[in-house]
């Protein structure tokens, strides 16, 4: 099993600031069956909403505390 956790801001193209990883790249990684999700300082509901807006079913969303 391979799990990939994406940060959002500064990593994904939809982040603030935008990063270099496109949502198409994320979809390509997910196709072979890797588990994907995010760990961010954004609320988990906001993380899930970003993924849903791009029709990407994630396996997890985790908070990153400061």
Q: Can you give the residue ranges of every domain in the chain?
A: 3-63
3-state secondary structure of 44: helix
Measured CA to CA, the distance from residue 65 to residue 57 in angstroms comes to 24
What are 36-60's pLDDT values in tens digits?
999 999 999 999 999 999 999 999 9
- pLDDT band, residue 66 (cuts 50/70/90): low
Measured CA to CA, the distance from residue 6 to residue 66 in angstroms comes to 17
- pLDDT band, residue 32 (cuts 50/70/90): confident
The CA distances from residue 2 to 15, 32, 38, 46, 57, in Å, are 24, 10, 14, 24, 16
- Whether the pTM exceeds 0.85: the reply is yes
- pLDDT band, residue 64 (cuts 50/70/90): confident
């Amino acid at each position: 099993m391979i799990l990939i956790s994406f940060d959002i801001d500064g990593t994904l193209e939809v982040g603030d600031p935008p990063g270099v990883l496109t949502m198409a790249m994320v979809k390509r990684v997910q196709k072979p069956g890797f588990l994907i999700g995010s760990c961010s300082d954004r609320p988990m509901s906001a993380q899930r909403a970003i993924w849903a807006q791009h029709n990407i079913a994630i396996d997890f969303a985790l908070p990153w505390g400061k």
